[in-house]
């Protein structure tokens, strides 16, 4: 039996508990990350949904911003959902001028692109690379990808409605991001996809 992969979850704010539950359910080992020293013990990291400017401030206050940036630049696999997508981006629109980000994805994202809490919605999405048919996607004050570099794979777009065609799932190398929250639906396919990404990295080492 293979050793469970250790997936860190940035546990500063947001949907930490939900990601813990999802990872445990699929046989991975979740680890809460609050200190830079803890980054050395994990095989991959999840940046959860939450409030990106609060997350940004706490990364700075706790001395985690630069160590996490360096770990990602050195090849630590990462997955970001909603605010996590924002944090992983190189450029962010409609944010505070002092907001920090992790520069791990060559994308420009727009915060709260679908509107505030009252404009949150659900839809069914097909995600490239994930079998089993469309998955239910929950968007809560979600971003979307305004533009992306040539090395970024577009995995999913909104199928219909006013936001039809907007990019909401991307991958660049070993970094994955979605605008939506798969941790809240009970569908574990995105987490399984990420864990397989991590295992593939381990297989190359």
Q: Which helix (H) or strand (E) holds 20?
A: helix 16-25
- Three-point CA angle 106, 65, 170, nearest 5°: 25
Say whether 51 counts as a known binding-site residue: yes
Question: Which of these is catalytic: 20, 101, 181, 191?
Answer: 181
117/94 Cα distance (integer angstroms): 16
Beta-strand relationship, 153-157 and 167-172: antiparallel
Whether 183 is catalytic is: yes
Whether 146 is catalytic is: no
Nearest Cα to Cα of residue 30 among 9, 12, 50: 9
Strands (E), the chain: 6-10, 29-33, 44-47, 78-81, 89-93, 105-110, 121-125, 135-139, 144-148, 153-157, 167-172, 175-178
Nearest Cα to Cα of residue 127 among 119, 136, 139, 118: 136
Say whether 57 counts as a known binding-site residue: no
Say whether 50 counts as a known binding-site residue: yes
Q: Is the dihedral of CA 72, 92, 197, 29 positive or negative?
A: positive
Whether 38 is catalytic is: no
Say whether 171 counts as a known binding-site residue: no
Q: Which helix (H) or strand (E) holds 78?
A: strand 78-81
168/139 Cα distance (integer angstroms): 10
Question: Which of these is catalytic: 18, 19, 82, 191?
Answer: 82
Could you list the residues known to form a binding site for L-glutamine, using ranges: 50-52, 111, 140-141
Could you list the residues known to form a binding site, using ranges: 50-52, 111, 140-141
Residues involved in catalysis: 82, 181, 183
């Amino acid at each position: 039996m293979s050793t469970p992969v250790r997936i860190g979850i940035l546990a500063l704010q947001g949907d930490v508990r939900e990601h813990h539950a999802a990872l445990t359910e699929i046989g991975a080992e979740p680890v809460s990350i609050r200190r830079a020293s803890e980054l050395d013990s994990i095989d991959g990291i999840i940046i959860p949904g939450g409030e990106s400017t609060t997350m940004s401030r706490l990364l700075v206050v706790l001395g985690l911003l630069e160590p996490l940036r360096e770990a990602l630049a050195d090849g630590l696999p990462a997955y970001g959902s909603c605010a996590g997508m924002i944090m992983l981006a190189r450029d962010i629109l409609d944010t505070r001028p002092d907001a920090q980000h992790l520069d791990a994805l060559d994308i420009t994202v727009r915060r709260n692109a679908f509107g505030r809490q009252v404009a949150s919605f659900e839809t069914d999405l097909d995600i490239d690379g994930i079998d089993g048919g469309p998955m239910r996607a929950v968007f809560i004050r979600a971003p979307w990808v305004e533009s992306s570099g040539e090395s970024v794979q577009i995995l999913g777009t909104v199928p219909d409605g006013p936001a039809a065609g907007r990019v909401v799932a991307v991958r660049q190398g070993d970094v994955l991001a979605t605008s939506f929250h798969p941790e809240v639906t009970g569908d574990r396919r995105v987490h399984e996809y990420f864990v397989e990404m991590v295992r593939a990295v381990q297989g190359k080492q």
